[in-house]
Structure 1
C-alpha cells in the first residue's frame, strides 16, 4: 500500500465527451476525506470542467513521467491529484470523437501500471464508449476483457453489487457465468470447466478481497423452472448440477440450481453472499431494478481490485451541461474499492 493512511484509488475518467469526467471529479472531491482518489485523464480539460462544476474544487496535475520518476507526490485533502493523459482533440460534450480513443485507452494502461508499481491500491473506472476506441484503430470489447488481457488473467468474473435498501434487507451480489453474449449463444458457452472455475473465483475473491470468511453461493438454472427435471432443458442435469457437486466436494458452499424466477426473494437471499446467474439479463435485471444508479460493477479474478459504475456514458445528459449527472454509482464504486483495498491489505 502506498505511504498513506488512506487507500489510494486510481480513477479513469472514461469517455471525455460523456458523463465520466464530471462524476469522477464530483465523487473524488466529495470523498477526498475518506480516501485519496487519483484521477487519470487530461489535466487541462479536467481543471476547466472542475471550475465549471464548482470553482472551489482544486486539482493538482502531474505528468506520467514525473510519477514514474518519483511516484505520487504528497498532497493534503484539499486537492485531488490528476495524472495527465492528454487528449488529441477538443472535447464537445455529448459528441464522440475517435481521435480521443487512444488517449482513453492510455488511462487504463496508466491505472494498471499505478497499481502494479504500488502507487495506487485499486482501480475505479468511469464509463467509456467502445466505439471511439475501435474507430481509433484498436480492437476493444470492454473494460473487463482489456484488463484481463493486460494482466494476463485467463478468466475473470463480472459481479454487480448493491447495498441494502428499502427493497433489500441485505446487500445483493450477482455474478455472471456468461456476460455480453447473444441469448442464442448462451447455452453453448456454459461449459463445465469454466463454470467450476467461475465458482472458485467468486469464492476466493469474496474471501480475500471482501472479507467474507465462508461465502455462500446460490446458483440459478439456465432454463425456466431450472429445467423442470429435464422437461424444459437438460443443461441443469448434464452440466450445472454436476459442477455444483464438484464445487461442494472441493469445500465450496455452493447450492442449486434454483429457478431464477423464484430465487430472488428475501427468504433465499438472506442465506446467500452471492447469486451466480447463467446469463446477463437473468441476474442483472433484478439487481438493477433494486438499485440502478447505486450499484457497483466488480471484476473478480484479476490480480488487482477493479470496480466501476453500473451505467453508461449518458451522452444525451452531458450535452445539457454540467449539474445533471448523478454521482451515486461512482461514489459507491469508490467506497467499495477503498473497502476492498483495506481488506486486501489487512489479510
Structure 2
C-alpha cells in the first residue's frame, strides 16, 4: 500500500486500485487505521477527503465512515457537512470554470429528516446550515431529505449524488443494487484511487467461488477517472474557510 502511494505521488502510476482489507488484521498488526481511506489520506498528506460508493445508478458520499453509530452522530458538525458537500461538488465536475453544476442531495440523520425538530435537532442545527452555506457558494445542494426516500429519488435521476450521514445509511442502498457493480472511490486525494465495494470474505478463500467482478469494475473506473483527470480543465478550488483541526 505504501509503495503504491509512493508511485502515485511520483507520477509513475496514474491510479491505484486496492483489494479489500481486513480491519481486524490491521489492528492486530499494530496499525492505527480503521481502513484504506485513512491510510491513503495520511501517507499522501491529504487533510480533506471522503469515501464515495458508486455504481451506474447511484452515488453516495459519506460524512462519517468507520466508527460506531453513537460516535458518528457526535462527529457530525456543520463544518464537516459543508466540507463533504464541497468535495462531492468538485468530484462530480463542479467548480470555477468547470461548466458543470452537479445536483447534490444531503440525507437527513433522523426519521423524516427530524420532522422540524420533532425527532431530533441534528437536521435543523447541523445539516441545514451546511446546505445553506453550500448554496451560498453556488453549489446545487439541497436537504436535509428524508433518508428513506432520497436514494430512490437519486436513482430515478433527480440528483447526481447523495451525501449520507453514516456508513450503513449510504452503503446499504449502493450494495443492495449489486456488489459486482459497485466501486469505492476516495475523493480529495492527489491521485485516483478505487477499490471494491465488499470485504475480504475469508470464508471463500481457496474455494474457487469468489466473484472478481467488483475488482474488474474498480479497475475500469480507475482508468476512466484517470483519463478524465488528464483532460480536465485546471480550476482553482474554493477556499476552505472552515477549521477542520478537530474533525480531520
SS in 1 for 2:184: strand
User: Of residues 213, 218, 240 in structure 2, which corresponds to 1:328?
Assistant: 213
Give the distance between the partners of 1:268 and 1:337, measured in 2 at CA.
Answer: 22
Query: Displacement, 1:130?
Result: 3.0
Give the distance between the partners of 1:241 and 1:289, measured in 2 at CA.
Answer: 28
Aligned length: 229
Give the distance between the partners of 2:74 and 2:29, measured in 1 at CA.
Answer: 32
Q: Matches of residues 92-131 of structure 1 in structure 2 within 5 Å? A: 108-131=1-24
Contact kept? 2:194, 2:218, Cα under 8 Å:
yes
Q: Matches of residues 138-217 of structure 1 in structure 2 within 5 Å? A: 138-163=31-56, 171-207=57-93, 213-217=100-104
State the partner residue of 2:229.
344
Give the distance between the partners of 2:110 and 2:26, measured in 1 at CA.
Answer: 36
SS in 2 for 1:297: strand
SS in 2 for 1:186: helix
Of residues 145-154 and 257-266 in structure 1, the stretch that sits farther from structure 2 once superposed is: 257-266
Q: Matches of residues 17-36 of structure 1 in structure 2 within 5 Å? A: none
Contact kept? 1:206, 1:212, Cα under 8 Å:
no
User: Of residues 11, 26, 30 in structure 2, which corresponds to 1:137?
Assistant: 30
State the partner residue of 1:258.
145
Q: Provide TM-score, normalisation by structure 2.
A: 0.87
Unaligned runs of 5+ residues in structure 1 are 1-107, 164-170
CA displacement 1:38-93 (0-9 Å, x = unmatched): xxxxxxxxxxxxxxxxxxxxxxxxxxxxxxxxxxxxxxxxxxxxxxxxxxxxxxxx
**CA, structure 1 residues 115+262, in 2 after alignment: closer, same or farther (shift >3 Å)?**
same
Contact kept? 1:263, 1:269, Cα under 8 Å:
no
State the partner residue of 1:281.
168
Q: Matches of residues 71-90 of structure 1 in structure 2 within 5 Å? A: none
Query: Displacement, 1:271?
Result: 1.8
Query: Displacement, 1:138?
Result: 3.1
Contact kept? 2:180, 2:217, Cα under 8 Å:
no
State the partner residue of 1:67.
none
**CA, structure 1 residues 212+218, in 2 after alignment: closer, same or farther (shift >3 Å)?**
farther
Give the distance between the partners of 2:90 and 2:68, measured in 1 at CA.
Answer: 29
Q: Provide TM-score, normalisation by structure 1.
A: 0.63
State the partner residue of 1:223.
110
Give the distance between the partners of 1:206 and 1:212, measured in 2 at CA.
Answer: 11
**CA, structure 1 residues 267+327, in 2 after alignment: closer, same or farther (shift >3 Å)?**
closer
Aligned Cα root-mean-square deviation (Å): 1.7
**CA, structure 1 residues 326+212, in 2 after alignment: closer, same or farther (shift >3 Å)?**
farther
**CA, structure 1 residues 234+201, in 2 after alignment: closer, same or farther (shift >3 Å)?**
same
Give the distance between the partners of 1:207 and 1:185, measured in 2 at CA.
Answer: 32
Query: Displacement, 1:317?
Result: 0.7
Query: Displacement, 1:267?
Result: 7.1
State the partner residue of 2:241.
none
Bigger Rg over Cα:
1
CA displacement 1:270-308 (0-9 Å, x = unmatched): 121110111111121111111222200011111111100
SS in 2 for 1:120: coil
Query: Displacement, 1:173?
Result: 0.2
Ranked by relative contact order (alpha carbons within 8 Å, sequence separation 6 or more), the top structure is 2
